[in-house]
Every structure is written in C-alpha cells, then in structure tokens.
Amino acid sequence: MAPTRREFLKIAGVSAAGLLLPPWAPLAAGQSPNPAVPPAAGPLPALTARRWAMAVDAAKCRPGCTDCIAACHAAHNVPDFKNPKDDIHWIALEKVGHVFPAEAHSALPEPLRALALPVLCNHCQNPPCVRVCPTKATFKRADGIVMMDYHRCIGCRFCMAACPYGSRSMNYRDPRPFIAKLNPEFPTRTKGVVEKCNFCEERLARGLFPACVLACKEKVLSFGDLEEPGSEVRRVLERGFSIQRRPELGTGPQVYYRL
Amino acid sequence: MFEKALKGSRGYGIWVAFLLTLTAVGFYFYLRQLAYGLGITGMGRDVSWGLYIAQFTFLVGIAASAVMLVLPYYLHDYKAFGKITILGEFLAVAAVIMCVTFVFVDLGQPGRVMNVLLYPSPTSILFWDMIVLNGYLLLNIVTGWTVLESDKKGVPPPSWVRPLIILSIPWAISIHTVTAFIYAGLPGRGFWLTAIMAPRFLASAFASGPALLILFCLLLKRITRFDAGEKAIQALAKIVTYALATSIFFVLVELFTTFYGQIPGHMDHFRYLFTGLDGHRMIANWMDVSAVVACLSLVLLIIPRTRQKESLLALACAGVFVSLWIEKGLGLVITGFIPSPLEALPDYIPTGPEIAITTGVWALGLLLITLFYKIFISVRTED
C-alpha cells in the first residue's frame, strides 16, 4: 500500500523530528537496537519510539462519524457478526459518562455529555492482561505496544477478565466468513483466540501511521513517541489538561483524552 | 481393586448407565462446541466467563472436604473420622478432576493447552493454579488408594504415606487461596478486588464440601451396609455449622465495607447481585434463594435437636450445598463482569449446549465418585 500524500507528510514530519532524538535513538530503517521492533517491511523506514502513545482531542470529534472504526476494522480484518454477544472490535465509540464514569457529572454541558469518545486498547505501561496470561501469548514490547500472539493464545480469556477497559474481544466463532472485505496484508484469526488493537504495529514497521489516526479528517487522534519532546502527541498534550482512563489503577494507560 | 467397581447390583448398573449417558450427551455437545466455538455458550464479550469457570470455582471448594477429615484424624488423632477419611480423599479426587475438566472445556483453543507448560508464566495465577490443583489431585489419589489397599490386605499403611497426608493439609488450603487469587488480584474488577476473597473461599468450601460428604454418608448408610457412624457424621455437621456461619459472616463483612464505604464501582456489583440493577434481576433471583436457604440451613444446624435428627440434618446439608452452589457456582463469577468496564449491563443466560456440557462434566464426576465409593464399600464390607 503506497502512502498517500498526507501520510507522507506526516512521516516526513516525524522523520525531521527524529533528528532531535538523542544519539542512541534509532534513525535508520532496519537498524533498530531493539530486537522486539521488527525492521522495516516496506519502502519506508520503520517508525520507532521509546513509548508509543495516542492523544484524543475529543472536542473535535464529529458526531455520528465512524471513520476511525471503519479504517481500523478494514485494515485488520475485524469481523462483523451483527450480534452484540459475539462482537469483536478494536476501537469503538462510547459515551463520555461510560468512558469516564467518575468524572462525568450531571452539570456537564449537554454536547459534552452526548459526546462519544473513541476507546481502544490503552497499551498500558503496566498491563494487567500481560501479567495474567498463562502462556505469554500477550506481551509488551520495549516500545510500549501490548501485542497478541494469535498462534499461542489458548483462549482462556483471563486477559479479558483482567483488562479494566473492556478492550479485548474473543473470537467466539470462526470470524472469517464475517469479514466484509479481506485485507491480504494482515492475518485473519481463528476461532477461540482473543484479539485487540495493536497500535497498528504492522503499519509502523512499514513506516506508516495507525489507520485510525490517518482516517480521522478532524484530526482528533494524534500519535507519536511520548518520550520525545516535540512529537505530535506531546505537542497536543502540552496544550492543556488531559486525562487517562482509570489511572488510579496503576496501569499507566497510554491513550490520553483532552475534553 | 478396580475389579470391584465392575460388578454390582442392578440398581448400581442402572445408575452407572444413567451417568454414562449424561456424560455422553455432554461429550456430544462438547464436540459441537469444538466445531462452532465458544459462541455456542451464553458467554460473550462482556461476560467472558460463565457456568464453566463458576463450576470450577465451586468444585475447588468441594475438593476441600478431604482436609476437614484428614486434619482431625491425622493431626489430632480423632478416631471417629478413621472410617471415612478415604471417602473425603476420593471426593477430593473426583472434584479436582471435574475442576480441571471445566477449565479445559472453557478453553477457546483446547488443542494448545500444553502451551501452559511450554511457556511457563509465573506471573500468571492460572499457572500456579494448574500446579496446586494437579499436585492436590496426585496427593489424594496416592494417599487414598494406598491406605485403602493396606486396609484390604489388613496391614497398616506404609510409613511413607503419612508425610504425604500431612502435606495434603496445607496443600488443600493452597488450592483455595490460589483459586481466589485468580479473581482477587484484578485491578479493574471491583467485585473481586477484595482481600477477603481467599478466606471467603475457604469458609464456604469447608461448609459445602463436608455437607456433601454428610449427604453421601447418609446415602451409603441407606443403600449399602456401610455406616460412617453417628459420631463422625455429627462431628462433620458441627464443622459445616461453624464454616457456614463464618461464610455468612464474611459476606456480611463485605457488605458493610461496600455499602458503608459507598464507592459506586464496588456497590453496583453488590446491588446487581442482591437486588438487581435496572431490572436485570436474573442473578438476584437466584441469590434471594441462596440467602434464604443459607439462613434456614444455619438455623437447622445450630439447634442441637434438629442437627442430631438425621432427616433434618440431610435437609440442612442439601440446603448448604444448594445455597453455596448458587453463591459460588453462579453469582461470584458472573457478577464480577456486571456492570462491564464501560458500564453496560449485559445479560448472561447459559445456552442448552452449555448446560448439557456442564451436566456432562458433573455426571463424569459423580460417576468417578460412584466407582471410587463402590470399591471402598466392597473393600470395607465384604472382607
């Protein structure tokens, strides 16, 4: 998949920002000092970071828009069973009151109360799902991405019980007949394994930003290295106050919300 | 000694055939689950553990019955339990086999179960649960069988078996503790995140396990020539009484912390469990029954005159079993998921195939108990 003009500009920006990195930070493709980060898989150098993070500038979110969900689910062969029980999603839109039950009070302005926020895996710094997995099928990379090995997962769903955010989905049945349009560049899953958002690690390896970030015309989502001053995510977070979902649990969620 | 399980009365044959049929029906539906996936059950994205894991949790408790016999007999030389310690050990063996089977049928990819050994993960409580459950199974098979074999030969058990029996006492505590830790260490689930989880597990286990054992002893007295003895049964009944009282006390302690503390994330689960939330009352209806039956059973057990009357004792023990089955075999696991992390109130309703598989595993366990007890009775009454 060739990068669009907009994607290319984003990449160029990140690459330029990369010049500000300390000397030990990886600059060139395939020379990542971190063996957990795969080398570039395409024509562009792989994007690397010390800690990937996302910022959600919720006020910009256009009501009724589901572009981020459509782009993510198309890119990752996420099935649509049209059945809430078996539902699989990597990203969803949820009411502010459900995402931040402790913060949403009755005097909030109506538009804010009605606002739906994108929710996805928080790629926690201290992920409970990784702690409880009995086979290390879910693990955290050095760059902070919490990943799944679909070939090792035994489907015990301990990770689903452990996730405080409801970010994980189980393949309760064979997903393949329910994939609207197959993307041959990403694996499909088998029944009986758990899956979730992977911060588009397969795209980062090819030098591309996450599908949801690029799909959002309102630029609600920004993505980058939280440990790199000047990265897009840092610039957005420096604009004002932001919150994380249930930070009091000590999970260290890496998706930040500006409301 | 196995041959003794093969011949029996006509009633014995019919009962074994009945259990085999139920097991076969369960196995048939398990094959269907294998073909379709776990979507054949009522479990879903929000309530991702259901009947299977709840039965596993409850049956870990039943496996404790052994320790309540072994401890008084071997540590305090309480002779009255000498006749029935093996019954407790065999019940533990059957219960642990049921536990392991329930975990297995709950796996989405059962063919990969060996990954737990190939990639051992000491940070996962499930890894430790596998170790303690299999260890407990092994201890009880070895000790129960060896002691029974010595009985048959009319010789005292070999001396190496005693240390294993003593080891099985703390080991029994460990299976409950570790199983409770599966739940009690999850930061996002307010219902389970409580240090009293393990003590609660132990208290309810020491009530439900011995209660089932009393029922079995009373049944054996009626249908076979084996009599556990009034003294042993009454001692067990007192254990059930104290354990049930402790179990109820622990629940009340939790209710105090939750409702006096009034943290919504904790209160909502308990309100769902006992009164229902926004009209979702399925579990609450069951819990009403559980609470009433537990209190009535406790009254029957506390009053000496009713406890000493065999028919009322049987009724009370059946009550304890049913009440704690509802509490742990239904309420404890499912309520942890409701409300969901995104405040949804999903309904979990087990499906027909799921109930058939659950019944099948129970039938398999009862079949094992039947065969073990048949061997035991044959050895004890015929020679």
Q: Tell me the percentage of chain B whose pLDDT exceeds 90.
A: 83
A1 part of a folded domain? no
CA B21 from chain center: how many Å?
23
pLDDT higher than 90, residue A102: no
Say how many CB pairs under 8 Å bridge A and B: 148
A196 part of a folded domain? yes
pLDDT in tens, B98-118: 999 999 999 999 999 999 999
Give yes or no for A231 touching B (CB within 8 A): no
Give yes or no for A6 touching B (CB within 8 A): no
pLDDT in tens, A140-187: 999 999 999 999 999 999 999 999 999 999 999 999 999 999 999 999
A78 part of a folded domain? yes
> Which residues of B are less than 8 Å from A249 in CB distance?
187-188
> Which residues of B are less than 8 Å from A170 in CB distance?
38, 45, 48, 108
pLDDT in tens, A73-95: 999 999 999 999 999 999 999 99
CB contact under 8 A, A161 and B49: yes
Of the candidate ranges A185-194, B60-69, B191-200, the one whose mean pLDDT is the lowest: B60-69
| Residue of B36, B40, B109 best to disrupt the A interface, most CBs of A under 10 A | B109
A203 part of a folded domain? yes
Burial class (CB within 10 angstroms; exposed 0-12, middle 13-18, buried 19+) of B141: middle
pLDDT higher than 80, residue B41: yes
Element (H, E) at A120: strand A116-120
Crossing angle of helices B230-261/B197-223, nearest 10°? 150
CB contact under 8 A, A162 and B186: yes
CB contact under 8 A, B116 and A134: yes
Q: What is the pTM of this model?
A: 0.91
CB contact under 8 A, B37 and A192: yes
CB contact under 8 A, B336 and A136: no
CB contact under 8 A, B44 and A87: yes
CATH, range B2-382: 1.20.1630.10
Residue A165: predicted pLDDT: 96
Query: Which residue range(s) make up the domain with A58?
Result: 52-221+231-258
Give yes or no for A152 touching B (CB within 8 A): yes
How many domains, in total, are found in chain A? 1
| Residue of B106, B186, B354 best to disrupt the A interface, most CBs of A under 10 A | B186
Q: Tell me the percentage of chain B whose pLDDT exceeds 70.
A: 99
CB contact under 8 A, A164 and B125: no
pLDDT higher than 50, residue A21: no
Strand partners, A94: A117
| Residue among A85, A154, A169 minimizing CB distance to B112 | A154
Residue of chain A whose Cα is closest to the Cα of B118: A135
- C-alpha atoms less than 13 angstroms from C-alpha of A149 in its C-beta half-sphere: 17
> Which residues of B are less than 8 Å from A163 in CB distance?
188, 341
**Minimal Cα–Cα distance from A168 to chain B, Å?**
8
> Which residues of B are less than 8 Å from A98 in CB distance?
342-344
| Alpha carbons A98 and A106: distance in angstroms, whole number | 13
| Alpha carbons B60 and B325: distance in angstroms, whole number | 12
Where are the domains positioned within chain B?
A: 2-382
- Local confidence band at B251 (pLDDT 50, 70, 90 cut-offs): very high
CB contact under 8 A, A131 and B39: no
Interface of A with B in 17-56 (CB under 8 A): none
| Residue of A122, A156, A245 best to disrupt the B interface, most CBs of B under 10 A | A156
Strand partners, A222: A55
Residue A33: predicted pLDDT: 44
| Alpha carbons B127 and A13: distance in angstroms, whole number | 46
DSSP letter for each residue of B3-29: GGGT---HHHHHHHHHHHHHHHHHHHH
CB contact under 8 A, B115 and A160: no
A32 part of a folded domain? no
Residue B308: predicted pLDDT: 94
CA A188 from chain center: how many Å?
18
| Residue among B49, B121, B342 minimizing CB distance to A136 | B121
Of the candidate ranges A38-47, B2-11, B40-49, the one whose mean pLDDT is the lowest: A38-47
